């Protein structure tokens, strides 16, 4: 079911620091970015993360 609300994503979506390192599965090179952690790429990264169970607290 839906309520019929329409939301628009703007071009100014917060993407964090683009020089942050990616999340990896082996956890050796970048110990700060392990699977299941918050995305290092801000709201944009949180929207594109699969199964990380991140909560998006910002209104889009």
> Is 60 a residue whose pLDDT tops 70?
no
Q: According to the model, what pLDDT value does residue 45 have?
A: 72
What is the Cα–Cα distance from 58 to 60, expressed in whole angstroms?
A: 6
Instruction: Give the tens place of pLDDT for each residue, 1-52.
Output: 667 777 776 667 777 776 766 665 554 555 566 666 667 777 777 776 665 5
Q: What is the pLDDT of residue 37?
A: 67
Domain segments of the chain as ranges: 1-60
Higher pLDDT, 60 or 22: 22
pLDDT at 25 (0 to 100): 56
Contacts (Cβ under 8 Å, ≥6 apart) of 7: 60
């Amino acid at each position: 079911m839906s309520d019929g609300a329409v939301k628009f994503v703007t071009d100014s979506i917060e993407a964090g620091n683009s020089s942050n390192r990616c999340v990896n599965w082996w956890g050796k090179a970048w110990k700060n970015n392990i699977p299941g952690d918050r995305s290092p790429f801000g709201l944009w990264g949180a929207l594109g993360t699969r199964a990380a169970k991140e909560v998006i607290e910002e209104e889009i």
